Amino acid sequence: MRVVELVQVIERFAGHYDAEDVGFGTVYKWHPTGVLLQCVCGERLTLTGSTSICGECGAEHTSIVREVLAVRRPQRDEDAHPWRYERS
């Protein structure tokens, strides 16, 4: 008998860069595509393709993360390569 765990997907967010101005230019930090979900233990988790285990109870959410992240949205070039559109 297979037990189905109920996990609530709260939000899916696209990968993006955060820009930070520094002394001689701009530094871009990548934030990968991820999923915010609520685990069966009640913990809210932000998971990505490389992190899919609940730190509280150890539940593995790999299949859910892969399923949600498999739906890809078209991305604008400005979002994927912000340094190309930097205004000096």
Between these two residues, 87 and 2, which has the higher pLDDT value? 87
Indicate whether 31 belongs to any domain. yes
Count of domains forming the chain: 1
In a domain? residue 1: no
Q: Pick the closest to residue 56 from 68, 44, 65 (CA basis).
A: 44
- Residue 3 covered by a domain: no
Tell me, yes or no, whether 2 lies in a domain: no
> Is 68 inside any structural domain?
yes
Residue 79 has a CB neighbour count (10 Å cut-off) of 12
Name the residue range of residue 27's domain.
Answer: 8-85
- For 17-44, the pLDDT digits (tens) are 888 999 988 899 988 888 899 988 889 9
Q: Which whole-number Å values give the CA distances from 51 to 6, 22, 66, 74, 79, in the listed order?
A: 19, 30, 11, 23, 23
Question: Is 69 a domain residue?
Answer: yes
